Amino acid sequence: MSHTVVTFGEIMLRLSPPGYQRFVQATSFDAVYGGGEANVAVSLANYGCEAHFVTKVPSHEIGQCAINALRALGVHTEFIARGGDRLGIYYCESGASQRPSKVIYDRADSSISRVGPGEFDWDAILSGASWFHFTGITPALGDGPAAATLEAVKAAKRLGVKVSADLNYRKKLWSPEKASAVMSGLMEYVDVVIGNEEDAEKVFGIKAGTSDVTRGELCHKGYREVARELVKRFGFEKVAITLRESLSASDNNWSGMLYDGAEFHLSRKYQVHTVDRVGGGDSFAGALVYALLEGMPGQQAVEFAAAASCLKHSIIGDFNLVGLSEVQVLAGGDASGRVQR
């Protein structure tokens, strides 16, 4: 059975120095497209879902390039609005060893940041959909996108569409105080919330025990308390937390946790040698949405999501370009990386 999923957010042009060059070394930039909710849509299309991405991009050729990148991977783009003057850009320098990756945003006044209430017919867009997904990045773009997001989740609730949100706190976009005020108003419409080690603390002030993400030290007991508190505060059906132990920019331990209000499910831990970590959380979110739509039990769902996002760390670009069978093999326990002949 094919599931219909709608995601809403910003797609951007990503410019990166080749390989592991620094910005100051670069004489050229590699260009790809990506963004939190677009990345989720691509993952879902890879798994066979009818994935629709909603945004606004300029009418000029760069806006069309972003649409083409989505269409090429099977994402439906008929609900994308056209207008405004610019597509957001971000520059990404890949870190290595103890040198962290670096992101510089150039997204002010992008087309999507100028949307407002009433711009999208959410009842029509969500008609027949099974799931709606957004991240905290979209309402962080301004009061207009925040209002549009609120309209979307209200429509989803009216139509009986499940809603997931990845908290995705970005300190370069808004303050913890603003994030808490806006996101708290959206959470009453959310069924499944997803976050990383820091999101719950930055957005809602809920800290995970003795965890210290800068030292790569995670307290699983603390994250269980975070999940319980989120369910208690907002009534979520499920809380998922991605668990990254950053040993260096190149080497991470990666796993995930899922709480359904009664039981905790912790995935296996992967030792990841990172090629590109951008989009890692989005790939987890996309795979989790698929797993839940398929009715996978909690442990199987979090194993599938963790395996998908583990694979994403080996792929350059924002999109997780893996198929269903590849994720199933890794989730099933084959992490050998042996040549497939």
Instruction: Report, as residue numbers or ranges, the catalytic residues.
Output: 282
Count helices and strands in the chain by DSSP H and E runs: 11, 15
Tokens 């069309």 correspond to what residue?
Answer: 64
Helix (H) or strand (E) holding 327: helix 324-331
Q: Please compute, for residue 289, the number of CA atoms within 13 A of its CA located in the half-sphere on the CB side.
A: 38
Distance CA(66)–CA(84), nearest Å, equals: 14
Asked if 189 and 157 count as a contact pair (C-beta separation under 8 A), the reply is yes
Cα distances from 204 to residues 176, 181, 208, in angstroms, run 8, 9, 12
Q: Quick one: tokens of 202?
A: 């930055």
Q: What would the 3-class secondary structure string for 217-244 be?
A: ECCHHHHHHHHHHHHHHHCCCEEEEEEE
Asked if 40 and 61 count as a contact pair (C-beta separation under 8 A), the reply is no
Cα distances from 5 to residues 64, 74, 115, 258, in angstroms, run 22, 13, 21, 21
Distance CA(155)–CA(132), nearest Å, equals: 10
Cα distances from 83 to residues 38, 56, 88, in angstroms, run 18, 7, 13
In the chain the beta strands, taken as DSSP E runs, fall at: 4-8, 12-16, 30-34, 50-54, 56-57, 81-82, 89-93, 102-106, 131-135, 162-166, 192-195, 238-246, 251-259, 264-266, 270-273
Cα distances from 127 to residues 34, 51, 132, 165, 281, in angstroms, run 26, 13, 11, 19, 27
